[in-house]
Amino acid sequence: MLKISSLKKLVTDSMAIDLGTANTIIAVKGRGVVVDEPSLVAINEMSEEIVAFGQEAADMSGREGRDVVVRAPLIGGVVGDFERTKKMLAHFVKKAKTGGSNISLQAVMSMVSDVTHVEQRALLNAAEDSGIGKVYMMEEGLAAAFGAGVLPNDKRGSAIVDIGAGTTNIAIIAKGAIVHSTSERYGSNEINAVLATHLRRHRGLQVGIETTEFLKTSFASAFLPEEISKTIAVRGRDVQTGSPSAVDITSGEVYPIVESIVRRIAQTVKDTLTELRPEVAADIYDRGVILTGGGALLDGIDKYMRNFINLPVTVSEEPRYATVMGLVKMFDDTKLLEKVSRNELGVLQNAEIPFEA
């Protein structure tokens, strides 16, 4: 016969949640990544009700009907719209559950290191209200490091740079703890913003997010392209006439726009590396920097960073999943999970795992 404790384990999903500005990624222990969707909701403006979440909402974006608007409830890695973040999280958690409503949950969730008390509380509340029994919160930088293969018992320092959509998070890890960190509230989405501004101001073309995303992921690169006259047609709306329109742009035109943001990110990394203690600096000198997050997928960003900081730079395996992979690893080592979790004392840490009726 099964003991109560093992029975509890059987019906408990252990969930890792990376609630990002651009994407919500959920992995379940033993099942891998089960949710990978844009952090978006579509709202009916008349009734204020949410009509779609995630990918379904993204598919409406830019072409929504007259009464529908698509919104990102998280801004710069934090909860901008609490009610809608909560509903979105609940939707994704439900989707990630192993079926059946009597499955209880424990979850570990990431947060940026400079998160304020109020923001942390908002995230915890959102998770609690999604029907998760026990929630641990952990710093994103540490999760990304573990996900990128840094070992918790490694005495020497490692540097992780997570380039997300709305944040750039630099964490220096040693012995399974953060010894230094910097978090900036700008990330890869800044590239979309400057591309859109350039097209509007200099080429008279208004473009949507889909267009800048395509330009960034399929055409742009972080180093000067060999063939600067390579062109691509960009479509949108003429600023003057309002009519549907298109312009051709070259890779030589796109490069300096993208480079301005990559340089800013690289400068933040460089500045952070000057603030380290000598021993840690020596470790980083030998080991260099690991890039994680979706922004690390920009063509040539590792090469650019290598030249800029004069140190080895590598991109982690599956950089978009580094944080969630680090989070899910915590369920293999509960002692470590207790050590690294940053919950407000006693509030949720010791809560019993409740069973839903």
Ligand X SMILES: Nc1ncnc2c1ncn2[C@@H]1O[C@H](COP(=O)(O)OP(=O)(O)OP(=O)(O)O)[C@@H](O)[C@H]1O
Using rule CB under 6 A, residue 327 touches ligand X: no
Judged by CB, which is closer to ligand X: 176, or 319?
319
Interacting residue ranges for Mg ion, rule: CB under 5 A:
20, 164
Q: Which of residues 280-299 bind ligand X (CB under 6 A)?
A: 293-295, 297-298
CB of 294 to ligand X, least distance (A): 2
Residue type at 52 in one-letter notation: A
Using rule CB under 6 A, residue 216 touches ligand X: yes
Distance CA 293, CA 291 (A): 7
Exactly one of 14, 23, 61, 120 binds ligand X (CB under 6 A); that residue is 23
Q: HSE-up of 73 (CA within 13 Å, CB side)?
A: 24
- Percent helix, strand, coil in the chain, to 5, is 40, 25, 35
Tokens at 212, concatenated: 């800048």
Using rule CB under 6 A, residue 147 touches ligand X: no
Distance CA 31, CA 29 (A): 6
Q: Edge-to-edge strand order for the sheet containing 158-163?
A: 177-184, 168-174, 158-163, 289-292, 313-315
CB of 123 to Mg ion, least distance (A): 13
Using rule CB under 6 A, residue 77 touches ligand X: yes
Return the DSSP state at 299.
T
Distance CA 84, CA 212 (A): 26
320 binds, among ligand X, Mg ion, none (CB under 5 to 8 A by kind): ligand X
216 binds, among ligand X, Mg ion, none (CB under 5 to 8 A by kind): ligand X
Using rule CB under 6 A, residue 111 touches ligand X: no
Judged by CB, which is closer to ligand X: 126, or 280?
126
- The three-class DSSP label of residue 92 is helix
CB of 261 to Mg ion, least distance (A): 17
CB of 164 to ligand X, least distance (A): 2
Q: Which of residues 156-175 bind ligand X (CB under 6 A)?
A: 164-167
β-pairing, 74-75 vs 50-53, is unpaired
Distance CA 82, CA 242 (A): 36
Q: Edge-to-edge strand order for the sheet containing 244-250?
A: 205-206, 231-238, 244-250
Using rule CB under 6 A, residue 54 touches ligand X: no
CB of 218 to ligand X, least distance (A): 8
Residue with tokens 């709202």: 43
CB of 167 to Mg ion, least distance (A): 7
Q: Which of residues 297-316 bind ligand X (CB under 6 A)?
A: 297-298
Judged by CB, which is closer to ligand X: 60, or 297?
297
Chain residues in the site for ligand X (CB under 6 A):
20-23, 77, 164-167, 187-189, 213, 216-217, 293-295, 297-298, 320
